[in-house]
Amino acid sequence: MPEGVILPVDNIDKIWQEYSLKKETSLRDKLILHYSPLVKYVAGRLSIHLNQHVEYDDLISYGIFGLIDAIDKFKYEKGVKFETYASLRVRGAIIDSIRKMDWVPRTLRKKNKELDLVYHELESELGRAPTDEELSVKLSITVEETRDLLKKSSVVSLISLDDYLDANHESNFFDKNPDHMENPETKYESTEVKQMLADAIDKLSEKEKKVVTLYYYEELTLKEISHIMGVSESRISQIHSKAVSKLSVKLGRFKSLLYLP
């Protein structure tokens, strides 16, 4: 994550201490200014899902509200890292704003579930990932409609209420005990999921693999990936959407991992 430090670290700690006691607007404004690069980073990461539907500047605007909320609710005295907490709040604010637009109707959610089912059936029958043309025949829609559905499926999954709550719920955030975070069962499940993900990525096309690697492993933003690969941001978003559709089928109940910033 980019540093984006505007104030010296020792200075920002002092401001946090004062703000936690006084709650003055002037101090909050300084905190907002200091952490604004974090909003740009989270917005830049989420834009790979939303690029063709929502402007980047709008994502930043939504995210700023999340940052302000995070600053107001943060418990400085607990000694946890603010950036981690704020990232969840910023991401949640952006997704919540998108959800309120209500441009993902129930029929589209239903089609998205049907797409996942058909994709899985065809992959089992063919022994490989189905093409857009094969999907369109099975879905009884045109190839263009199939590609549009694949493009939107990433957004549908991103703003799913269950995925949103799993990724962003902050209950007990400040009270988690690291000693209980990874028991043997959790470690085994984590290893299993990593292997599932590795196997699924191995079956992607070369371009899809590169986008997935740059996004999930290098943690780059849409703009950065676009620059590296030399194609438009819209094209990167399309490649990512298709890759996510394929990976979602493989990951099953763990697919929410694909929508974390």
| pLDDT at residue 4, rounded to an integer | 43
Among residues 72, 101, 130, which one ends one of the domains? 101
For residue 253, the tally of other CB atoms under 10 A from its CB is 7
What angle is formed at CA 127 by the lines to CA 123 and CA 128, rounded to 5 degrees?
65
Is 112 within the bounds of a domain?
no
Q: Give the helix ranges, DSSP H, for the chain.
A: 9-22, 25-50, 56-73, 82-101, 106-126, 132-139, 143-158, 161-168, 184-202, 206-212, 222-229, 233-251
CATH of the domain at 258: 1.10.10.10
Q: How far is CA 98 from the centre of its chain?
A: 13
Among residues 78, 101, 124, which one ends one of the domains? 101
In percent, how much of the chain has pLDDT > 70?
Answer: 71
Q: What's the mean pLDDT in 176-186? A: 50
| pLDDT at residue 10, rounded to an integer | 67
Q: Which two tokens stand for residue 228?
A: 């590296």
Is 261 within the bounds of a domain?
yes
Is 217 within the bounds of a domain?
yes
Q: How confident is the model at residue 1 (pLDDT cuts 50, 70, 90)?
A: very low
Q: How far apart are CA 108 and CA 110, in angstroms?
A: 5
Is 126 within the bounds of a domain?
no
Is 152 within the bounds of a domain?
no
Question: What is the overall mean pLDDT for the chain?
Answer: 78
| CB 174 within 8 Å of CB 78 | yes
Is 136 within the bounds of a domain?
no
What does 158-189 look like in DSSP terms, one character per residue? Answer: HT-HHHHHHHH--TTGGG--GGGT--HHHHHH
**Whole-angstrom distance between the N-terminal and C-terminal Cα of the chain?**
11
* 51 Cβ contact partners less than 8 Å away, ≥ 6 residues apart: 222, 233, 234, 236, 237
Q: How far apart are CA 216 and CA 210, in angstroms?
A: 10
Is 149 within the bounds of a domain?
no
Q: How far apart are CA 115 and CA 106, in angstroms?
A: 14
| pLDDT at residue 70, rounded to an integer | 95
pLDDT digits (tens, 9 = 90+) for 24-67: 999 999 999 999 999 999 999 888 877 667 788 999 999 999 99
State the virtual CA torsion across 106, 107, 113, 117 in degrees, nearest 10. Answer: 160
| pLDDT at residue 161, rounded to an integer | 41
Is 153 within the bounds of a domain?
no
pLDDT digits (tens, 9 = 90+) for 18-32: 999 999 999 999 999
Residue at token pair 């974390």: 260
Among residues 82, 101, 120, which one ends one of the domains? 101
Res. 143: pLDDT tops 50: yes
Q: How far apart are CA 143 and CA 65, in angstroms?
A: 39
pLDDT digits (tens, 9 = 90+) for 77-132: 888 889 989 998 999 898 888 877 755 556 666 777 788 788 878 888 988 778 88
As for how many domains the chain has, the answer is: 2
Q: Which two tokens stand for residue 37?
A: 């690069």
CATH of the domain at 36: 1.10.1740.10
Provide the domain limits for residue 215: 184-261
Judge residue 149's burial from the number of C-beta atoms within 10 Å of its C-beta, 0-12 exposed, 13-18 middle, 19 or more buried. Answer: buried
